[in-house]
Amino acid sequence: MTKTRQTHQSDLFQDLPRPSATRKTRKTRDDSAAPNRFEGVRISSLTDEEARSVCDLAASYLTKKLRKTDVLTSPEATRELLRLRVAPLPDEVFGCVWLDNRHRVIGLEEMFRGTVDGASVHPRVVTRRALEVNAAAVIFYHNHPSGIAEPSQADLRITARLKEALNLVETRVLDHLIVGEEITSLAERGLI
- Provide the CATH number for the domain around residue 94: 3.40.140.10
At 104 the pLDDT is: 87
pLDDT (0 to 100) of residue 28 = 45
Assess if residue 18 is contained within a domain.
Answer: no
Q: How many CB atoms lie within 10 A of CB 144?
A: 22
What is the distance, to the nearest Å, from the Cα of residue 4 to the centroid of all Cα atoms in its chain?
12
Q: Is 66 left (phi over 0), alpha (psi -120 to 50) or beta?
A: alpha
Q: Which domain holds residue 105?
A: 45-185
Residue 4 placed within a domain? no
Identify whether 16 is part of a domain. Answer: no
Residue 88 has what pLDDT?
Answer: 81
| pLDDT in the model for residue 3 | 41
- Kindly state the helix (H) or strand (E) to which residue 19 belongs, with its residue range: none
In terms of pTM, does the model score above 0.95?
A: no
Q: Is residue 122 part of a domain?
A: yes
> Per residue in 105-140, pLDDT tens?
888 899 998 887 778 899 999 999 999 999 999 999
CA dist., res. 145 & res. 131, Å (int)? 30
Residue 44, pLDDT score: 77
Classify residue 154: in a domain, yes or no: yes
pLDDT at 137: 96
- Position 178 scores a pLDDT of 93
Total domains, the chain: 1
Give the chain's mean pLDDT.
Answer: 78
Give pLDDT < 50 ranges for the chain: 1-31, 68-69
